[in-house]
Structure 1
């Protein structure tokens, strides 16, 4: 078969499998004001042929939902449950078998994590993520664990590499007094740092203003979702002129970009938003208004983080993504980040496998 003939031959799906994984965390990770000690999700694997060539790729699909370490429902992130995604994909896979890979993009779903996963699977099968650097590009995440002394934060900040110039700091977790002290302590150790603060809608308007008024604004890149009521964000900016960013607001099914006073960045979590095409449209619109777009993890395992790193290089090449969450994972998933144990497909629970023979 000539090269031209092969290019005209569609990439055809010959096998699809769905596995489930659960990974314990070595330390709790913050999800807003909640904490999780375990991360579960799905791995969707596709085999496709084109002429004499066979390709196999896997993607992670892990909505940020379920329960926290206190057995309370996680709120403010994914609207769909892992069970809903599993059921929909299990029902859909037989209909995708023997179809061109483009059918992955045509499948209609209202579940953002499934939509993102299918579009990512399509991109991987077509080599669209190949050849893009996955050199470590990440903004370190700083947060205070429960009952952790401030001295422990100081040690982590002191250990940051000299070429780190931005860090993300979780706020609206403790008392205003302690958090103001935390920010000043970080800057006392590394006055060159620029801080990305993440409040996860944890402050009232009055608290957000009081907090920001005590900080050196020139050291703050922005604060994510400063107010419990997002309608207060502009009033917050008018009071203290601290740039702010949207994160959770993007997760609403009816969200439409609207330029607002003080809005400087969108924190985009692909697993919570949907297909790559939808992400690109949002980024294009926001960029036209001078708003930065930064890809961020939804606490994916290493398979998902590797894909986010590659994707960020392609669609937000001028921004460093927020994907510094793997240190909390006890194991890697298919893609090694250097941990002693990397789970493979045979280590996971098989949900379904359909294939054409």
Structure 2
């Protein structure tokens, strides 16, 4: 397939309630939508999703296919105008500038150039977006049913009464078996009260705790000593210093998962006692091929891999649900982050308004092809 049109749009979605980014909070989400059109040349398309149980898609010569992907680094500023820390290394401006330079070079090239550029890009969000675009244009995501089951996210919004939190817990469906709970956010007493409160209503639940590197080793030891360990699946990034995770596990056998540690550009998988899962945020890590390599290595050591959102819009969440069905079919992904969004983007998820391309701002720095506003 040949790329015949590439257009870049900017979106800004207000949030109905603040969303946690580590210990920080955001009240809106900004990102880019890359629209691509490709014309089939009659050949069979291939992809880098090597372990997926899907077949290649044959297309009719001359057929035009259109796809959209979200490219949205988790960066910017929080509600206090402080830079977001610990997530995407690149800014939205850097990504927009890089794509402005790159997209004209892709015009009239084979879609396989998307994979080449994904591997070459220094920006993980671009690498992931381009490899995802290749997979979508190749029809690889069309061949799978998305994973629609989600692990509910539980946290105490700073701008909402506790009654809403209690109501959310009470409304959990009987089919829900695990929930994710943000910790290291407020006082230890309040968070332990929340954990025991959840279990008092639903003693059958397993909890995935997420500390976002929020505890010192001493705090983590104090916190873990008070936990109902039989009800905890694992705790994500419990300690401020990753090497302390091993010390914590040796003292208290609380399995842990890595999340923020994976964002280190020098990260290499190393198996440690107590490591039970990797929380994989594709927008922060890079191309689908890179994700597949990491997943394969982790699985070889018996470590679970769970795809998770970087607070993408409904467009990005929908794509992650499809991707999870391919890369991690035996795990429920962590995609329960759309509740706070005021609007959907291109893909409806039940919001009152779903923005289309006409509602977005076309990148004025480049016009690689005439854009059809549909």
TM class by shorter chain equals: over 0.9
In structure 1, the residue matched to 2:63 is 53
Q: How much has 1:144 moved relative to structure 2?
A: 0.5
In structure 2, the residue matched to 1:320 is 332
In structure 1, the residue matched to 2:309 is 297
In structure 1, the residue matched to 2:53 is none
Q: Aligned-residue CA RMSD in angstroms? A: 1.2
Aligned-partner Cα distance in 2 for 1:81–1:179: 32
**Contact 1:14 1:356 (8 Å CA) reproduced:** no
**Contact 2:147 2:322 (8 Å CA) reproduced:** no
1:41-120 matches, within 5 Å, as: 41-50=31-40, 51-107=61-117, 108-120=120-132
Q: How much has 1:77 moved relative to structure 2?
A: 0.1
Q: How much has 1:131 moved relative to structure 2?
A: 2.9
In structure 2, the residue matched to 1:206 is 218
Aligned-partner Cα distance in 1 for 2:266–2:159: 38
Aligned-partner Cα distance in 1 for 2:203–2:303: 26
Deviations 1:82-130 (A, max 9, x none): 0000000010011100000000111121000000000000000000100
1:353 aligns with 2:343: no
Deviations 1:167-225 (A, max 9, x none): 00000011111111111111001000000000001111111111111111010000000
1:283 aligns with 2:295: yes
- Structure 2 length-normalised TM: 0.91
Q: How much has 1:151 moved relative to structure 2?
A: 4.2
Aligned-partner Cα distance in 2 for 1:265–1:232: 17
In structure 2, the residue matched to 1:273 is 285
**Contact 1:97 1:356 (8 Å CA) reproduced:** no
Among 178, 181, 189, the residue aligned to 1:166: 178
Deviations 1:12-57 (A, max 9, x none): 0000000000000011100000000000000001100012200000
1:89-238 matches, within 5 Å, as: 89-107=99-117, 108-134=120-146, 136-146=148-158, 150-238=162-250
Q: How much has 1:152 moved relative to structure 2?
A: 3.5
**Contact 2:147 2:324 (8 Å CA) reproduced:** no
Aligned-partner Cα distance in 2 for 1:28–1:147: 7
SS at 1:169's partner residue? strand
Q: How much has 1:355 moved relative to structure 2?
A: 2.5
Alignment gaps of 5+ in structure 1 = 1-10
Q: How much has 1:147 moved relative to structure 2?
A: 6.6
Moved more, 144-153 or 283-292: 144-153
**Contact 2:17 2:159 (8 Å CA) reproduced:** no
Q: How much has 1:135 moved relative to structure 2?
A: 5.0
Among 17, 31, 41, the residue aligned to 2:21: 31
Alignment gaps of 5+ in structure 2 = 41-60
Q: How much has 1:353 moved relative to structure 2?
A: 2.9
**Contact 1:150 1:182 (8 Å CA) reproduced:** no
Number of equivalences: 347
- Structure 1 length-normalised TM: 0.95
In structure 1, the residue matched to 2:43 is none
**Contact 1:154 1:189 (8 Å CA) reproduced:** no
